[in-house]
Chains A and B, each alone.
Chain A
Amino acid sequence: MLTETVETMPLRTSDDVVRLRQAVRARAVAAGFGLVDQTKIVTAASEIGRNTIVYGGGGTLRIEVVRNGQRQGVRLTFEDQGPGIADIATALRDGYTTGSGLGLGLGGAKRLCNEFDIRSAPGQGTTITLTRWK
């Protein structure tokens, strides 16, 4: 599988969430995604990007284009050095939140992608990788 890093962007403020939506949209369009697939990965990125800022205290997003034979996809890696997540299974459950949100972010974003990976431990920060294939 071929991986090409396209860009890395900081996630600090809610303006950065708007910028990340535009960057992910542009990359999904370039990868040939249809409108529904574009909307799904942009929405998933918006959810996780906000989590990185609100719960992770800010971090970075790396956008990559991945190729597997004829298939093309977009992979997003969100990384923060925040407090981390102690119980990942619970955090993924719909309706669970430690903040003031709806608790749909993690589980919802997972449903909107083809591949979802989360690595986190208390005090170790959080890294979430989403991939959506065309």
Chain B
Amino acid sequence: MAEIPILKIGDCLLVSIQVDMHDRLAMALQDDLTERIVADRARGVMIDISALEIVDSFIGRMLNNIAAMSRVLDAVTVVVGMRPAVAITLVELGLGLTGVRTALNVDKGLALIRRIIDNPESDDAHRNG
């Protein structure tokens, strides 16, 4: 089974999903990332989905799970690069990805991760307010 590479940049992990994922691959990525967060003491996780042509409820759940697990492990997850047609479809499907932070591209995603790591209180205030 093809694996999705996880790159380490400083204290962040970067994943760029370039293949049409079957469900087992999505589950494997979730497990691999969780282990790498701990092994690499990562503070941020960025998931680039700009190559994904669809996000269905299974992939959406995977993104939600990764965000929730990384939060428990004191890391921040940001999903970047969602295509407009995917965003429109996700909302109609009923999947808001409410637990997942998003940014338009990799640059903005890294800046967001940095801001949240450096100033966690502002993020809590933003999310709860």
Contacts and interface: CB of A to CB of B under 8 A. Distances in A.
Chain A bound to chain B: yes
Interface of A: 14-15, 17-18, 21-22, 25, 35-36, 38-40, 42-43, 46-47, 50, 94, 101-102, 104-105, 107-109, 111-112
Contacts of A35: 85
B61 interface: yes
Interface size range of chain B in the complex: 20 to 34
B57 A105 contact: yes
5 contacts: A25-B53, A35-B85, A36-B89, A40-B88, A102-B60
B56 interface: yes
A46 B60 CA distance: 12
A107 B57 CA distance: 11
A90 B23 CA distance: 25
A18 B22 contact: yes
A25 B20 CA distance: 12
Contacts of B84: 36
Contact of A94 (B53, B61, B83, B94): B94
A36 B85 contact: yes
Contacts of A40: 88-89, 92
Interface of B, secondary structure class, is: helix
Given A104-B94, A112-B93, A39 B88 contact: yes
Nearest to B92: A111
A112 B88 CA distance: 10
A15 B92 contact: no
B73 to A, nearest CB: 22
B95 A108 contact: yes
A102 B61 contact: yes
6 closest A-B pairs (Cβ-Cβ)? A108-B93, A14-B23, A39-B85, A46-B56, A14-B22, A104-B57
A112 B90 CA distance: 10
A104 B89 contact: no
Contacts of A14: 22-24
A126 to B, nearest CB: 18
A25 B89 CA distance: 14
B54 interface: yes
A107 B83 CA distance: 23
B54 A102 contact: no
B20 A36 contact: no
